Structure 1
């Protein structure tokens, strides 16, 4: 089958071996984007493959083989069919194209549609393969076009349970094998000893000992933003602005941020200490920009919209306690952004019975004393389930089908969920969690995904490669049989 790999890199993790082994099985790799330095290593093994660096793809710079392409611009019919993709992409551009106006973003989006629609028509792939959920603009445009054309998409969703990931063909519909496995487990009572050792260890740490989920990606980011590393970053930035001769403008902006208003100052003006005697929903905001909210949050990439839905659905005597993500300011610094703009926290504080709580407030105290936890496809929702608390999940989380999770798409579904939670009849048991983990074990894949998760992986690189190859091959084999 003809395959396109997008954003597929990770030489030290064995990722480059996956397309190689699929090629050995008879599949044709027609197009591949990834890190430029790594693609140069594998290029001799794929003489008929079009290679494009991830950076070039991000800025719509075509590879030399397609530099003089005659791909046609998109028309009204195609753009209308991709309206949801367009809406998500325009927000997704906040990460790398924050400086572009709306009109500039739309024009850039049209160019991406033109190019990737042309690529799909020219190469006629049977499947597009992504290492994670597409979220870097160009890959999401290709994903949307593939969905529209009926081309198979294969991507892998992080779960942060041990070293396990889930294969998805559509992040909106989730993993159908997981749903079927759960249905088969409904009348069964698995014990912890029925689980594999890595899941037994995970369960015992989280349920019995209530160990804090110190996520590898947060740990990695905190290492990246130690005092020494931040000093190095600031020094390089200072040298850069001298070289660019923009030091006067940049220093002025620096002092404006220090002396003027900042996200931290605005937040602190509205924060209060939580009153544990109140009934409340704990809301954990996601770090942005990141794939967990864009695209996996759907329309709730606007977390203020999530809060408005929750506030409109709250019982009269309940509160919302909202806490910012611990990395939001550590990475983004003192500057406002398109995700945390001036007045953002003020707007939150104006919502009915809604209060910002200090970042120093203990997350697990907030979960344990809450009536429920709400988030946009976040880890806090899964932590709530592990601690026997209902979870209100906005967007497309991997654990959406777990008992105790309410999938929220608007005020109507949120009010129904609140009524059930208020009644007190909903309790997810430890048996529910064990049964869910048994289903999860059956369909999940153990594999390396990114450098920052390396220490969480307990298998060899060769095993990881083989697991990827077997998972992708199974999807392609099933698709081939359906075509026949």
Structure 2
């Protein structure tokens, strides 16, 4: 019976499933880091701890990281600080203050993992966000096995990863669906119907949806419940009323003006005209901050570094057409982003109004950190160069960036569509059925809670009995 630490996975869809495996002795959950709003559901679970605030309240720990451990922590610092950028608690702290916080958190969680003699840590999704990224780094430094449940591109399936680097490889996960399963038919086209990129979803994510704006009046009880949950979750972030005013009100004002400046800078940077006859690489930018870059991007979470490296080996007469993500606001797109971009003469910053699929069609190939654009490209017959980890990384027509890449050979690579379908089918064959995150429900069809519970029991048995037992 292995000793597990669970990070999140505390919602209605998965909580009771994990408790069942603990109660029947399959695993021992020695610590469970949960969200404040779910505290009541863990009154019967003494090892549960509200992880967002746990390291703040009466913070006390024994410095546990050795000199070598601290060196390893330093190598993770770029990944960790990129994940801190998404949290207003650490908004615009000086670099040395960030280091103090990371050092305290890393020692706190490393000490906690050692105290409970943790043998494995199970994460909800690939580790991202400030606290979770530090827990992941601490586990890795201590040599503790990690697992992540990662939602698939299908709403009701997921994969298991042993590390960030395992994403797209799924090394230890054998085929779990029938080997005789028929090959999935994929239409050979760039355009995909992506639920998270519909016009309504984009407006919702940008805070412009009428449903969100008028939720106080249309669903007052739900709105008040959400506000209470937010206060519970984030109340400990603020030292005083003055601290709250500085962080929230000043930030709100700053956000307004920074958004205006970002939009002006983006308009100034836009290429006045583009030519479809030019030889160019299409590079659609990722939304940031976002897990797909901050966690999966490696050093290329700095997207301009990827563009610079691509420009450095670009054939002489080629260009790079860069287009902004439709959901992007000012975060990580401020003054020096555009100054740095302007230093690259081969780059054209393309208006958001230009159709992404037309840009894809006329390009030599598509370049992306880990985005869906790479999948859209190869499933439509266009090669893709990727800089980070992505679920389709080992598919035909996908090339991992390196200095040795011959970009003209990449552009001329012929993708056998049947091979894409076969590899995609094998990828789906490794997926486990079930939904464990409530935010995935909005894209699920004909959801049945009872059936999902059974699926999650089978999936977790696969992890805890078959997979974990074979992977000490």
- Which TM-score band (shorter chain)? 0.7 to 0.9
2:105 is the alignment partner of 1:112 = yes
Aligned 8 A contact 1:18 1:468 in 2: yes
Report how far residue 476 of structure 1 moved: 3.3
Report how far residue 318 of structure 1 moved: 1.1
- Aligned partner of 1:74 in structure 2 is 65
Range that drifts further, 435-444 or 74-83: 74-83
2:42 is the alignment partner of 1:56 = no
CA distance in 1: counterparts of 2:194 and 2:81, whole angstroms: 33
Range that drifts further, 471-480 or 87-96: 471-480
**Shift in alpha-carbon separation, 1:400–1:248, aligned structure 2, 3 A:** closer
What per-residue deviation string (whole Å, max 9, x for no partner) do you get for residues 344-394 of structure 1? 123213213100000111111111111111111111111111111111111
CA distance in 1: counterparts of 2:309 and 2:59, whole angstroms: 49
Name whichever structure is richer in helix by fraction.
Answer: 1
- Aligned partner of 1:4 in structure 2 is 5
**Shift in alpha-carbon separation, 1:169–1:222, aligned structure 2, 3 A:** same
**Shift in alpha-carbon separation, 1:248–1:468, aligned structure 2, 3 A:** closer
Report how far residue 419 of structure 1 moved: 3.5
* Residue pairs, 1:154-173, within 5 angstroms: 154-173=147-166
Range that drifts further, 465-474 or 138-147: 465-474
**Shift in alpha-carbon separation, 1:109–1:208, aligned structure 2, 3 A:** closer
- Aligned partner of 1:39 in structure 2 is 39
**Shift in alpha-carbon separation, 1:214–1:429, aligned structure 2, 3 A:** farther
CA distance in 1: counterparts of 2:198 and 2:8, whole angstroms: 19
Report how far residue 24 of structure 1 moved: 3.6
- Aligned partner of 2:284 in structure 1 is 284
**Shift in alpha-carbon separation, 1:218–1:143, aligned structure 2, 3 A:** farther
2:355 is the alignment partner of 1:362 = yes
CA distance in 2: counterparts of 1:347 and 1:75, whole angstroms: 38
CA distance in 2: counterparts of 1:86 and 1:251, whole angstroms: 28
What per-residue deviation string (whole Å, max 9, x for no partner) do you get for residues 190-226 of structure 1? 9xx814xxx55xx34xx36944434269854532522
CA distance in 1: counterparts of 2:29 and 2:456, whole angstroms: 16
Report how far residue 72 of structure 1 moved: 1.9
* Residue pairs, 1:82-121, within 5 angstroms: 82-96=73-87, 97-121=90-114
Aligned 8 A contact 2:3 2:119 in 1: yes
- Aligned partner of 2:194 in structure 1 is 213
CA distance in 2: counterparts of 1:291 and 1:442, whole angstroms: 24
The runs of 5 or more residues in structure 1 that have no matched partner are 183-187, 330-335
**Shift in alpha-carbon separation, 1:403–1:463, aligned structure 2, 3 A:** farther
Aligned 8 A contact 1:5 1:130 in 2: yes
Q: What TM-score comes out, normalization by structure 2 length?
A: 0.83
CA distance in 2: counterparts of 1:53 and 1:254, whole angstroms: 29
Q: What TM-score comes out, normalization by structure 1 length?
A: 0.81
- Aligned partner of 1:128 in structure 2 is 121
What per-residue deviation string (whole Å, max 9, x for no partner) do you get for residues 280-316 of structure 1? 1110111111111111111111111011011111111
Aligned 8 A contact 2:436 2:456 in 1: no
What per-residue deviation string (whole Å, max 9, x for no partner) do you get for residues 265-285 of structure 1? 111112124311111111011
Q: RMSD of the alignment, in Å? A: 3.4
CA distance in 2: counterparts of 1:252 and 1:134, whole angstroms: 31
